[in-house]
A and B are shown apart, each in its own frame.
Chain A
């Protein structure tokens, strides 16, 4: 739980345990609990797959239609473009704020991470408005004699919104890695005649590769999953098409087929990443020594400051200015309290349930490592990487076909959130459990407490910090969740995210201001803790 990455949306390879755990006997209740956790995670996907297979020829004709081919090309193209953009910007911001001698680089480091608190659909909304006819940017450019801009909607808008949303992942992961890389390497390269850029390319970049791969993977997965930004930008990606099919047609086979293809796409990317990781040589973490900053020429320094400034301006200042502007312009504060309350309570419920579910998962994976427990962990993490809309659609099929009365009830909605976000809780719990010496638990057994009692009296209290951090993450991501909520919410139930979405899809941007700002403020709290903590280390 010390890595900033752990608080983002990445499954983590955690630190090595103090000694290899020797499991002794795995108590049966752990498996029972794990089965309870695993069923809602896996069952919907099985139902989805069954639905697709059951559709037979219809499924084939959807899968091999020209439209599906176009969606595939568009989606892959957007993913590649966003990932590249995020890698370039994130690596640059990381290097400038960690290794350069730029003034105020710590402040910059926080500033450029700030877009993390803004959901992609809010960003899309803000960009649409700012570059629109009455927008802030258009207005500002008015002085230059420009009175209208071509619409940002479409591929460029989707790309921009998603790059801004995802480059902070790369920034944080690369920053953490850069802090661990021996600064002496750069010095050595420089003394051997390399320019700063050449030194970075030859001495630093190879060591940064695993971190960049991790950051790039996050950006790619995020882009494939994103529903809000591509929909508002009217860019035809898989997620948008799935929703359109789901909404517009009684026959849900096409939606199911598209969801299945999207899932396959994600699995392919995960496999590629796994392969490349096997080959790559990971850097060895070193004890930190006083980092030496790389001196830049004044001209470069000016350029670098300008770059960081623009990134911060577009990624954070602009959205806040636009949202606050809307808020001030509207006569009444248009916050739907029922939506805020709805967001709050389902998020708290999802967080609590995820924390409870994380306990058996973490204990099994850390203390009772076996093929079975590792497979379970993988399954949970895989679902985490899947696009929410695909999982939500699968849950719809499961609920409609097998859960009758529960369909469109809160239980299904909250269980879906847990299925989607469980790795955030279990990963954090696992991280803190790995820090606990297993002999502490053995001591409890030796002193007469059963396996179950030991988990209650020793294990859970000791990993409570990690559990709480994981719970906070689940809370946060649930607050921002959009597509699964749209598909599964009970009739008449609103969340802040749904509110923003409805306002935006009807073009009533002003109505989205208050819920969007509230969402940003709520997200900012854990993000603040995360950033300050990464500096304490």
Chain B
């Protein structure tokens, strides 16, 4: 990350009574980056956004936006002076204002407001809805108005709180792509909160994984998936069979065989085998047996029983299609290994 840092959170801490929502939360986001803040519910993601936006005050730590400290020891910049755009989970459109007035709300200059509103509405593809009231819009349209409203004042950063959670599944994927396109086109820096792994991995430039109020890893989607920092992150991001093993440099030995390691390691380790790393070859004399298969169209998830009775998952293309009882030979690509007894 050589590029200019727009958002920098250092050791942010926030408690709600007994519960610790954020515990030394650190995060840096470079200009133009779309960062997905991913974690299970209750991990403090939304709290982090609210502290950045200034809707809550931290118990400790600091936040800087474009190099200016906005909260920290003795420093408090109110939300309206932070140049942060927020897209709320439920959109929070002003119900008493029409689309154009909603989008123009954050532009104080009356001369600039009109042109900027039409420009941004065209960008999100809602140019012809400018006089509708919020309740006359579909969920996806409301979402885009909320985004347009947040983008209109050209903030330093856009924060999106579970932006797709209120949309139904078929809409969600489409809107997700649209939002990413709009953000990229606007060259916006954005942080969006989600608990959906697929969502975070598919539209982010960077993903920050949160657990219990801390950031465990910040990296590209590819890296967090293939090079997770620990066992918990690995399992949080994808399915996989876990088993003990002994690593020796580039390989690891387990009860079901010796595999190549994605990262070199040594000694006793915890091994995770991702289903997509497990390839199956139909073989009547194979030692493993298919016990279950879930068909997903683009692929199939096959549950295997290995010779020693262990089960292993495999995600493979749907040709050939396996059925329970089929005999197969199993080949495994790289596996992940972590120091044993973590978490």
Contact = CB atoms under 8 A, between A and B. Distances in A.
Nearest to A25: B57
Contacts of B84: 446
Interface in A390-442: 437, 439-440, 442
B72 interface: no
Given A445-B79, A446-B150, A451-B78, A22 B50 contact: yes
B170 interface: no
Given A440-B93, A444-B105, 13 more contacts: A24-B55, A24-B57, A439-B92, A440-B92, A440-B94, A442-B79, A442-B88, A443-B94, A445-B54, A445-B78, A447-B80, A448-B106, A462-B94
A462 B95 contact: yes
The list of the 9 closest CB pairs from A to B, nearest first, reads A447-B106, A439-B92, A445-B79, A439-B88, A446-B86, A443-B92, A440-B92, A448-B80, A442-B55
Contacts of A437: 90, 92
Contacts, number: 76
A442 B57 contact: no
A285 interface: no
Contact of A446 (B76, B80, B90, B93): B80
Contacts of B245: none
A24 B56 contact: yes
A295 interface: no
Interface string A491-528: 00000000000000000000000000000000000000
Interface string A456-469: 00100110000000
Contacts of A458: 94
B74 interface: no
A179 interface: no
Given A24-B57, A437-B92, A461-B96, A445 B80 contact: yes
Residue picked from A443, A449, A458, A462, most chain B C-beta under 10 Å? A443
B117 interface: no
A450 interface: yes
Contacts of B82: 446
B221 interface: no
Q: Which of B55, B86, B105 has the most CB of A within 10 A?
A: B55
A448 B95 contact: no
Among A439, A444, A450, A458: residue with most chain B CB under 10 A: A439
B36 interface: no
16 contacts: A22-B16, A22-B55, A24-B79, A25-B76, A439-B89, A440-B92, A442-B92, A443-B105, A446-B80, A446-B84, A447-B80, A448-B81, A448-B106, A448-B153, A461-B96, A462-B94
Contacts of B90: 437, 439
Contacts of A451: 78, 80
Given A461-B96, A462-B96, A442 B86 contact: yes
Nearest to B158: A446
A319 to B, nearest CB: 42
B85 interface: yes
B336 to A, nearest CB: 38
Given A450-B80, A461-B96, A462-B95, A443 B54 contact: no
Contacts of A447: 80, 85, 105-106, 149-150, 153
Contacts of B78: 25, 445, 450-451
B200 to A, nearest CB: 22
Interface string B44-64: 000000100111110000000
Nearest to B87: A443
How many chain B residues sit at the interface, stated as a range, is 20 to 34
Interface string A270-302: 000000000000000000000000000000000
A450 B81 CA distance: 8
Nearest to A453: B80
A461 B94 CA distance: 10
Interface string A50-74: 0000000000000000000000000
The A interface is mostly helix, strand or loop, or mixed, namely: helix
B108 interface: yes
B57 to A, nearest CB: 6
Interface in B221-270: none
A57 B88 CA distance: 64
A458 B97 CA distance: 9
A400 to B, nearest CB: 45
B53 A446 contact: yes
A255 B54 CA distance: 54
B71 to A, nearest CB: 11
Interface in A131-187: none
A232 to B, nearest CB: 48
A446 B85 contact: yes
A502 to B, nearest CB: 47
A443 B134 CA distance: 15
A440 B97 CA distance: 12
B59 to A, nearest CB: 13
B80 to A, nearest CB: 5
Interface string B126-153: 0000000000000000000000011001
Contacts of B92: 437, 439-440, 442-443
Of B81, B96, B149, chain A has the most CB atoms within 10 Å of the CB of: B96
B54 A24 contact: yes
B96 to A, nearest CB: 5
A449 B57 CA distance: 18
Of A447, A449, A451, chain B has the most CB atoms within 10 Å of the CB of: A447
A440 B94 CA distance: 6
Contacts of B150: 446-447
A446 B52 CA distance: 11
Given A449-B80, A458-B94, A443 B88 contact: yes
A292 to B, nearest CB: 35
Nearest to A449: B80
Interface in B186-228: none
Nearest to B88: A439
B216 to A, nearest CB: 25
A461 B97 CA distance: 10
A97 B128 CA distance: 51
Interface in B83-124: 84-86, 88-90, 92-96, 105-106, 108
Nearest to B104: A447
Contacts of A448: 80-81, 106, 108, 153
Contacts of A443: 86, 88, 92-94, 105, 149
A461 B101 CA distance: 14
Contacts of B53: 442, 446
A445 B105 CA distance: 10
Among B81, B89, B92, B105, chain A packs the most CB atoms within 10 A around the CB of B92
B159 to A, nearest CB: 8
Interface string A17-46: 000001011000000000000000000000
Contacts of B89: 439
A439 B163 CA distance: 14
Nearest to B85: A446
B119 to A, nearest CB: 17
A115 to B, nearest CB: 38
Contacts of A24: 54-57, 79
A441 to B, nearest CB: 8
Nearest to A450: B80
